Structures are given as structure tokens and as C-alpha cells.
Structure 1
Amino acid sequence: MTETATPTEHPAPASVRPDVTAAQLADSLDALGHRHQVLSGTIRPVATGLRAAGVARTLRFVPTEVDSADPYRDFIDFMDTVEAGEVVVIATGGCDRSAYWGELFSAAALGRGAAGAVLDGPARDTAAIAALGFPVFAAGARPIDYRGRMRVDAAQVSVECGGVTIAPGDLVVADGDGVVAAPGAVAHQAAAAADSRAAGESTVLAELRAGARLGEVWERYGLL
């Protein structure tokens, strides 16, 4: 039976402005003392130019040798609860025994308004996902189905994905540089700092392009 956490009341989820990058959120978390919130570099976007930002909705897979008569039920039930603005986070223990995400899951998530998907295992149908424009970040690609190989073990619980513990509601930002997760306890603070950093870096960039010396800009803004 799939483990599912009991819903609890939460404050409004943290969010970031649309131009905030994964690097800016990572720097903000570093400044708050959370220096290990960047997921493994093996997790990459399935196509260039993708970005996802939203709160985590988590799912965990474990190996199985049982070919169930209804192998997709737990995943279907999970996907039908995804809400707008969420990033689906799939933890597999880094197992490449199968793919865990494809075109149809992407279409379903897109239809529900999800912000993206992050998984520490392979995806498939990557060309079709790219054509849909849905932001998927995965540890490679394999064409093999998870049926009879992996099964859903838990939903909406804390999981380890790409070497980082991610809980439901944590803030996730992913782009071409990688994936960063801000723990819920500091998510609002980290988001505000990342927003401020993004605004400040725009000013720094403009001054550097206009010919300002790097040292002068550093002394003035403390941003690089």
C-alpha cells in the first residue's frame, strides 16, 4: 500500500519572481546557512531553455519484481491531485532501472497547471516532452517502462531526490544550471533574498556593460 502523508494546514507557499535563477536561489540559501540544497548535477533539463519554479509535490518509487494488474493506479491517483503551480518531485534512489516520466504524464501535468517535474531517474519521450514545452528535469533518458520493475511507495512525504531532502511544499527552482530546493522553514526568506538578488544583479549587469570596474561594482553592491 502506498504511504500518503496526512494533509495539514500550511501558510501561503513561497514563490519567486519569474527571472529568479537557480543560482540566485542557491546563493540566497548559502547566505542563510543552507549550503547543501542543490540537487545532483546529473539531473538536467530534457531540452534547452526550460525553467520550473513552484512548490514540491513529492512521490517515491522503490524496486519491485511484481507485475501488478493495475501498475499505474498509484501514479494516476497522485497525478490527479497535482495542483497549479506545483513541481512534481519524483525520488527513485537514482535508480535507472526504468523511466518514470514521459509524454502523457507531461500532458496531464500541463493540463493541471503544474510548474514542472524533477526526477532523479530517467525520463522517456523526451522529444515529445520538449515539443510540449513542459519543464522536465531528469537524470538521463531510457525508453523502458516501470511496470514490473518499480512501484510507487509513498506520496506527499519527505523524500531524498538527487542527494537533497525535499518535503511537500518546499520551494523548487530549476533551470539550465540545475535544481535547487529551499526547505519550507526558510523558503519565504530565501525567496525574498533571491528576488532581491535578481533585482540587484540586473543593476550590476547594466553597470558592468556600461564599463564600470568589477571591483567598484563589488564594493558598491556586494554581488557577483
Structure 2
Amino acid sequence: MSRVVVGTPRTDPEIVAGFAGIGVATVHEAQGRTGLLHPRLRPIYRPAHVAGTALTCEVAPGDNWMLHVAVEQARPGDVLVVTPTSSCTDGYFGELLATSMRAHGVVGLVIDAGVRDTAELTEMRFPVWSAAVSAQGTVKETVGNVQTPIVCGGAHVHPGDLVVADGDGVVIVARTRAADVLAAARQREENEDGKRQRLAAGELGLDIYGMRDKLADRGLTYEEYSE
């Protein structure tokens, strides 16, 4: 049975806002290297960065009917996260749907399938991460699910989870963990700022990260050059 679940909770907007300047790699590391979507999902233009709450949508292959259904459930700050029930590269999403989504507050799209109208989407600055770009259109015949748990790009996504996406990819943070991950990500950024200053001053990563003893334990030796 296909469903649209209404009234689903979302990650607190203040927490979402805290991720606005934090990169995917930092978030991924901060939550124990989990939640990363498959690297086949790439941005259609760069630079691009978005942090928002997941509006989930499961669709049939070659059928974008449920994307239109999802618009009704959109709330400001949502990122539409779409997955087909089997692999498909058709162009599910284009300029007109982006216009509709933006009017309802959607700030980006993550789709494990294809999109089209990429020139127009780029001009609109509507950020999209997709597995393919294809002019192949879709039909509207088969119902699916909106605001139900899905698997997109190999990662579990629940409605209202945090979505962070940039030029390096897409990462999902569970809504219930978002505050803790934000704190860990901020701490990681502060730590990296200090290391960045030391590296810029010429210090070696070998010394900053205490690598020399471990390298020696693994059998690395140094010797003087001789003819």
C-alpha cells in the first residue's frame, strides 16, 4: 500500500542553521563516518552547499507522479530526497518542478536517479545532487510513498532527518542525533583551524599527528643517499 505520512517531525531549524557552513566531510567524520550517500550522487553545479530537513519520496522507475504529491507536504527548509524502487536514470525533475518546490520552501534536491533542465536549474541556483542527467522524460501512472523511511544512495533516510550536501557529496544525520553531531562537528572544525595554522607555518603533518613512531613500528627507515 502506498502512503503519504503527514505531520512528520523535523530537525530543529536552529540546529539545521548551525550546519550551514559545515562541509559534508566534516559532518561525516564527526558522526563516526556514517550516513554518507554513494558518490554517484553528484552536484549538477559547483559551488553548492545545502543543509535542510529530509522530505522523502519513493517513486516507481520512470514515473515522477509522487514528486508532485510531495510538494504538498513540503515545508520551508526541506530538501527533497528521492529514490526509485529500482535503478533508473530517467529525468524525473526539471525546471518546472524546481519552481514549484521553491515556492513551497524546498531548498534543494537529492535524487538517486536522473534530472534534466540542468542549465535552467543552474541559472535558478536550485541545488541538485543526482545520479544522472538525462533528457528522458517520465510518466505519471504509479503511486509510491511520501514521508516514509527510504534508502537513498545506500543510506537510510527518515523524514525530518538532517541532509547536508556540498561538492564532496551528501550525508544524512538522524534527527535524534543532529544536536550531538553539530557539537562534534564544531569541535572538529576548531581543531582543524589550529592544525591549519601550524601547517601553514611549515610544520609537518608527521609531527603534528605524531606519526613518526608508528611509521617506525611499521618498518619505515631512512637512509642517506649513496652512489
Q: What are structure 1's unaligned runs of at least 5 residues?
A: 66-70, 220-224
- Is it true that 1:121 corresponds to 2:117 in the alignment? no
Runs of 4+ in structure 1 over 6 Å off: none
Q: Confirm or deny that 1:197 pairs with 2:181.
A: no
Query: Given residue 82 of structure 2, which amino acid in structure 1 is its aligned partner?
Result: I
Equivalences for residues 107-118 of structure 1 within 5 A: 107-118=99-110
CA deviation after TM superposition for structure 1 residue 121, in Å: 0.4
Q: Highest CA radius of gyration, 1 or 2?
A: 2
Q: Normalising by structure 1, report the TM-score.
A: 0.82
Instruction: Measure the CA separation in 2 of the matches of 1:163 and 1:54.
Output: 19
User: Which residues of structure 2 form unaligned runs of 5+?
Assistant: 211-227
How far the C-alpha of 1:106 sits from its partner, in A, is 1.8
Q: Which residue of the partner structure matches residue 128 of structure 2?
A: 136
Distance 1:139 1:97 in 2: 7
The reply to whether residue 49 of structure 1 matches residue 47 of structure 2 is: yes
Deviations 1:19-63 (A, max 9, x none): 211000110111xxxx44111111000112111111111011024
Match of 1:4 in 2: 4
Partner of 1:212: 203
Relative to structure 1, the CA distance from residue 199 to residue 119 in structure 2 (aligned partners, 3 Å threshold; closer, same or farther) is: same
Aligned 1:55-204 pairs, distance under 5 A: 55-63=53-61, 72=65, 74-93=66-85, 95-96=87-88, 98-147=90-139, 151-204=142-195
Aligned length: 208
TM-score calculated relative to the size of structure 2: 0.81
Shift of 1:200: 2.6
Deviates more, 1:17-26 or 1:1-10: 1-10
CA distance in 1 between counterparts of 2:71 and 2:8 reads 19
In the alignment, is residue 18 of structure 1 matched against residue 20 of structure 2?
Answer: yes
Give the conservation status (yes or no) of the 8 Å contact 1:59–1:152.
no
User: Are residues 187 and 157 of structure 1, via their aligned partners in 2, closer, same or farther at CA, if it must alter by over 3 Å?
Assistant: same
CA RMSD, Structure 1 to Structure 2 (Å): 2.4
